[in-house]
Chain A
Amino acid sequence: KNEVEQSPQNLTAQEGEFITINCSYSVGISALHWLQQHPGGGIVSLFMLSSGKKKHGRLIATINIQEKHSSLHITASHPRDSAVYICAAVFRYNTDKLIFGTGTRLQVFP
């Protein structure tokens, strides 16, 4: 069992829909990252958070430390949001590295 689990694996939406991607992890973390990977393969860091909530434009990331769960929300989704979204955790037992989820492939249709 992977230490970082994401759901769903694949997600399709119509433009304008509200999107939620979930990430759960197994043990205590020092930080959790949300990343976006576009079809060409390059990865962009969206958020790094260790508690609470962060917002950037139409993207919102939340984390619940007690439940070991984080969500990435996209409001008013747009076709340009189509990408793979990856969560990655820095666990307290080893802060040298990230442990990655397998990613959620999002397609937003006009």
Chain B
Amino acid sequence: DGGITQSPKYLFRKEGQNVTLSCEQNLNHDAMYWYRQDPGQGLRLIYYSQIVNDFQKGDIAEGYSVSREKKESFPLTVTSAQKNPTAFYLCAINRGRGQPQHFGDGTRLSIL
């Protein structure tokens, strides 16, 4: 999506290492979301933020952390406490509740 950028596209993590996935948007939207996608499962919500300096846990927040210091940026850190981090991670944004979501192209995280 032209307005939302995720990086890197592929990421490898060693055991015990924290890694940070980047999500940047230039659409001036307030709401930002992080999802995890595993084979055969629907996307699951990790964290979301409706406004700068505020964020809420989603359904599977354990082992993850986020920050929202700027409106355009919502980085996700996968900590060493996340024992099964291998997955496809998607960031999404929207204008507000009930609006269509715009998704980034995703980051595929693997364990070395």
Chain B count of residues within 8 A CB distance of the other chain: 26
* Residues 33-77 (chain A) with a chain B CB within 8 angstroms: 33, 35, 40-45, 48
B16 contacts partner chain A, Cβ-Cβ < 8 Å = no
Taking residues whose C-beta sits less than 8 angstroms from the other chain, chain A's interface range is: 20 to 34
A100/B43 contact (C-beta < 8 A), A31-B98, A33-B100 known: yes
Q: Verify if A86 is at the interface (C-beta below 8 Å from B).
A: yes
Q: Which of B18-26, B69-77, B78-86, B101-109 contacts A (4 or more CB under 8 A)?
A: B101-109
Q: Which residues of B contact A4 (CB under 8 A)?
A: 42
Which residues in window 57-110 of A have CB below 8 A to B? 86, 88, 90, 95-103
Q: Are A101 and B98 in contact (CB under 8 A)?
A: no
Q: Which 5 pairs from chain A and chain B are nearest by CB?
A: A100-B42, A43-B103, A42-B105, A41-B106, A100-B43
8 sampled A-B residue pairs with Cβ under 8 A: A43-B106, A48-B100, A88-B42, A90-B98, A97-B33, A99-B42, A100-B44, A102-B40
Residues of A within 8 A of B (CB): 2, 4, 30-31, 33, 35, 40-45, 48, 86, 88, 90, 95-103
Which B residues contact A (CB, under 8 angstroms)? 1, 33, 40-45, 48, 50, 56, 58, 88, 90, 92, 97-106, 108
